[in-house]
Amino acid sequence: MPETSRLNARLLYELLLAELLAREGEAQQGAAYMLNAARRTGDEALFKRATELAIQSRAGPAALEATRAWRQAFPDSAQAGQYELQVLIVLGRVAETEEPTRHFLATLPEAERLSFITALPALYQRVPDKAEAARVIERALDGALSQPALAPAAWTSIGRLRLQAGDKAGALAAATLGQKADASSEWPALLGLQLMGSGETQAEALVERHLSTAQARPELFIAYARALIEQGRGGDAHRQLDRLIARAPEHPEAWLVRGALYADERKDAEAEADLRRYLSLLEATPATPDAEPPEGSAHARMMLAGIAERRGELTQAQQWLASVDSPEQALAVQTRLAQILARQGRLEEARQSIRAAPERSPEDARLKLLAEAQLLRDHGQPGQAYELLNGALQQTPDEETLLYEAAMAAERVGRFEVMERLLRRLIELKPGASHAYNALGYALADRNLRLPEARTLIEKAVQLSPNDAYIQDSLGWVQFRQGNLRQARQTLEAAFRKRPDAEIAAHLGEVLWILGEREAALRVWREGQRLEADNETLRKTLLRLRVRL
């Protein structure tokens, strides 16, 4: 509001009328009165309020008029520039944002310019023509590109906009220029990680180059390790985590991630040592008052419980689970405790414990049902699991997760036609459901039925999820069923390298066995047995081929 001494009857009337019109749903007319008052008084607060009222009325042209009048009256106002830029983007007038972007950047304090530059890709995320946005921003940031302190972030934002436009090569070129400006800046390396995730293999060199600098933060090592794990490159991930631990041994998360990787590889002794080290480092870190335990603590304790359970140390597993102090993990803890009860022969008690678990959200009721069905499947009651899921499906017949789980349960009880119908319905509802294509294709291939169709389904799943080792396993299995033994071997070996798993080991071992490579097959099967001694697919494979390990 303007100063009291500047208020006169006319101005007061205009301000009150503007606010009353806005309250009565006539915000655009109210904005016009407010803008008129702002122009006559030269009061910045009134320009801002006029802009807000125009935005509230969803009147784009009126909002743009207000922001431009505001900026004309106060050319050095960063807030006026910010509003103008946002309104232009919402209106889709991307070509007109070059000058406001450049001007807004110039009005910001130096300490805030980097944050604005890095926020630009998110600001333009919803514009329809991403390529145009990338060109506009590259021109708007021409001054920043010549400043060593801003150039890496500027090139990174340009690269991210190019990537949004589908221009991976252009994004890689921008990241390279950003790193050339300053190799110690993490921004180009972060774009490199993003490009790695989109399949741009050359981007990895950018990440490696930054990690070789003294300025590389532990968080970037961890992000790189996670990206490598996602690509199935566990060995490379280990090397990065080992490198980080040697460099920053007191950084807790490095131990957590390496421990999780070891646990996934079923290297339980190494996993336990790393996870215990992570917890000890957490305990040594001074806690802020009333701070909740980090989620990593809950995950570490859950993994330690899993290690104890695999060793048959059920009391120890229960103790680890009881120590999890995380409301978000309460249902997962209860489910794991129920699994332990079932292993002790107390299946009905285990089911009741899942049903009695408190529900923190509507989603929890569905998760409890799925957990109970899994419990029944895992402990020799596939028929009851199917009945439970089928009953729930009657209530919500197009619920995607229920369709998939009920299909898998139907297969376990020999209801193949039901499984196929449910999976095809899921594919109809969700054409991008790679797991549904894969499950149906694998089920056909495993039964030696309609193999060309099975391969088409699995290849569609591969197209949708190219990095999924389990889908690659299915592809290798249908190749085997079609008699393409060499191709099957190559596919299954790649899948097993990406994801060491007992079921993939069963399939790869069988292919090697049929190829006459008996020793290689035995080595793979033994590794599969180490990973999961009671895996049903591996057990049935060895029994069918009359192999004793």
pLDDT at position 2: 52
Residue 65, domain member (yes or no): no
Do residues 251 and 321 share a domain? Answer: yes
Residue 522, domain member (yes or no): yes
pLDDT at position 521: 97
pLDDT in tens, 346-381: 999 999 999 998 888 888 999 999 999 999 999 999
Do residues 342 and 302 share a domain? Answer: no
Residue 451, domain member (yes or no): no
pLDDT at position 4: 45
pLDDT at position 398: 93
C-alpha–C-alpha distance, residues 321 and 497, integer Å = 31
For 285-312, what is the mean pLDDT?
A: 84
pLDDT in tens, 121-148: 999 998 999 999 999 999 999 999 999 9
What CATH number should be reported for the domain holding residue 257? Answer: 1.25.40.10
User: Would you place residue 31 in the very low, low, confident or very high pLDDT band (cuts 50, 70, 90)?
Assistant: confident
User: Would you place residue 18 in the very low, low, confident or very high pLDDT band (cuts 50, 70, 90)?
Assistant: low
Share of the chain above pLDDT 90, in %: 73
Judged against a pLDDT cut of 50, whether residue 5 lies above it is answered with no
Mean pLDDT of the chain: 91
Residue 506, domain member (yes or no): yes
pLDDT in tens, 154-165: 999 999 999 999
For 109-117, what is the mean pLDDT?
A: 93
Residue 122, domain member (yes or no): no
Residue 143, domain member (yes or no): no
Give Cα 238 to chain centroid, integer Å: 21
Closest CA to 150 of 112, 194, 202, 176: 112
Judged against a pLDDT cut of 90, whether residue 113 lies above it is answered with yes
Do residues 348 and 266 share a domain? Answer: no
Task: Tell me if 488 sits within 8 A of 511, measured CB to CB.
Answer: yes
Joined together, the tokens standing for residue 238 give 């280990």
Do residues 354 and 308 share a domain? Answer: no
Do residues 250 and 339 share a domain? Answer: no
pLDDT at position 204: 96
pLDDT at position 535: 93
Judged against a pLDDT cut of 50, whether residue 35 lies above it is answered with yes
Task: Tell me if 18 sits within 8 A of 34, measured CB to CB.
Answer: yes
Task: Tell me if 423 sits within 8 A of 408, measured CB to CB.
Answer: no
Q: What ranges in 265-361 are assigned the alpha helix state H?
A: 268-284, 295-310, 314-322, 330-343, 347-356
| pTM of the predicted structure, to 2 decimals | 0.81
Task: Tell me if 487 sits within 8 A of 458, measured CB to CB.
Answer: no
pLDDT at position 278: 97
C-alpha–C-alpha distance, residues 171 and 48, integer Å = 37
Q: How many domains does the chain have?
A: 3
C-alpha–C-alpha distance, residues 545 and 549, integer Å = 12
Residue 227, domain member (yes or no): yes
For 311-336, what is the mean pLDDT?
A: 93
Q: Which domain holds residue 349?
A: 329-373
27: Cβ contacts below 8 Å, ≥ 6 apart: 21, 53, 54, 56, 57, 59
Do residues 521 and 535 share a domain? Answer: yes
Do residues 270 and 227 share a domain? Answer: yes
Task: Tell me if 67 sits within 8 A of 84, measured CB to CB.
Answer: yes
Do residues 233 and 319 share a domain? Answer: yes
Q: What is the DSSP letter of 4?
A: G
Joined together, the tokens standing for residue 180 give 């050339």
* Torsion on CA atoms 265, 269, 274, 276, rounded to nearest 10: 130
Task: Tell me if 389 sits within 8 A of 373, measured CB to CB.
Answer: yes
pLDDT in tens, 434-475: 999 999 999 999 999 999 999 999 999 999 999 899 999 999
Do residues 247 and 264 share a domain? Answer: yes
Sign for the pseudo-dihedral over CA of 393, 475, 538, 450: positive
Residue 536, domain member (yes or no): yes
Do residues 225 and 265 share a domain? Answer: yes
Sign for the pseudo-dihedral over CA of 350, 355, 358, 364: positive
Q: Which amino acid is at 523?
A: R
For 44-61, what is the mean pLDDT?
A: 83
C-alpha–C-alpha distance, residues 437 and 457, integer Å = 5
Do residues 321 and 221 share a domain? Answer: yes
Judged against a pLDDT cut of 70, whether residue 308 lies above it is answered with yes
Share of the chain above pLDDT 70, in %: 96
Do residues 510 and 528 share a domain? Answer: yes
Joined together, the tokens standing for residue 113 give 């310019």
